[in-house]
Structure 1
């Protein structure tokens, strides 16, 4: 039963750290490579670069919550939300952009 999960290539869950700018400040984000692929897909669907998308998510979370305690976890959860319902999630995201 778990072979589909356990026997996936190690590259899928290898950590990748990327340097990005959020609100003019340089920072780094460390996520598994599979999450970076999903973020690239989401950003592309919104006609954004990954750094721009990440910065937008950060700003929106900051406005909504007043602080962002665990940003890497927020990004992982954003990827899971997208993976569960990609069409509905993107339709809502695009409508909020316009």
Structure 2
């Protein structure tokens, strides 16, 4: 097995090219652990399981909108029902919303 330190620079996949190592020096592996939280979505209690990193992004979205994480999740739930008639994978939708929010320029968020 090749040690990670020897792979940095080309990661073994980019012969002749410099590749970017996706692991920052301060990468926290705890961010990938799944966290389940009980949430209330438009009056209904449910449990939502997301990786810790997504809960952090949801907190940032809630802070930017001056509301709670539950309010953000309720808004998404309501809107997806109004716009699309619902969604089969709500946690997947939340992950995509988090990534899309991060991709927006800071002035737009």
Alignment TM class, shorter chain as reference: 0.7 to 0.9
TM-score, structure 2 as length reference: 0.74
- Matched residue, 1:27: 46
| Larger RCO (alpha carbons 8 Å, 6+ apart) | 1
Matches within 5 A, 1:12-23: 12-23=31-42
Q: For the aligned residues, what is the CA RMSD?
A: 1.9
- Matched residue, 1:65: 84
Structure richer in helix, relative to its length: 1
Instruction: Tell me by how many angstroms 1:8 deviates.
Output: 2.6
CA distance in 1: counterparts of 2:21 and 2:97, whole angstroms: 24
SS of 1:47's equivalent?
coil
Q: Which runs of 4+ in 1 moved over 6 A?
A: none
TM-score, structure 1 as length reference: 0.82
Distance 1:17 1:89, change over 3 A: farther
Q: Deviations over 1:24-69 (max 9, x none)?
A: 1110110000010000000110011001110111100110001121
Gaps of 5+ in 1: 91-98
Q: Which has the larger radius of gyration?
A: 2
SS of 2:66's equivalent?
coil
CA distance in 2: counterparts of 1:37 and 1:86, whole angstroms: 18
